[in-house]
Amino acid sequence: MEIIYVLIPIAMIFVAIAITVFFWAVKSEQFDDLDRQSVSILFDENVDKPGHTPVTPLVTQLDDNATQQAIKDQQKGMPL
């Protein structure tokens, strides 16, 4: 019977923590956009973003002509 005197305050502390975390999540707008994540899988992430500059590949151990040709081939979509 004495364990009830320990368990009731512990349960009340857990409830208070849960309520605090819930109100923090609501206040920090965690529940505002529930549909974005479920729809984000349908869209491609490989779109060019503003201010993004494409990175040219690092081609090593080739002379200048071969390097230029490899870059042109890659720009055409051919693998190196």
Average pLDDT estimate for 29-44: 73
Q: Under 8 Å CB-to-CB from 80, ≥6 apart: which residues?
A: 57, 59, 70, 73, 74
* CB of 67 closer than 8 Å to CB of 59: yes
Residue 19 lies in a domain: yes
Does the structure show a pLDDT above 80 at 54? Answer: no
pLDDT at res. 62: 47
Residue 47 lies in a domain: no
pLDDT, greater one: 35 or 63: 35
Residue 9 lies in a domain: yes
Residue 76 lies in domain: 53-80
pLDDT at res. 29: 81
**Distance separating alpha carbons of residues 18 and 20, to the nearest angstrom:** 5
Nearest to 73, CA basis, from 56, 48, 54: 56
pLDDT at res. 4: 94
Residue 5 lies in a domain: yes
Residue 22 lies in a domain: yes
DSSP structural state of residue 35: S
Number of domains in the chain: 2
* CB of 43 closer than 8 Å to CB of 49: no
Q: How much is the pTM?
A: 0.43
Task: For 4-32, write each residue's pLDDT tens digit.
Answer: 999 999 999 999 999 999 999 889 887 77
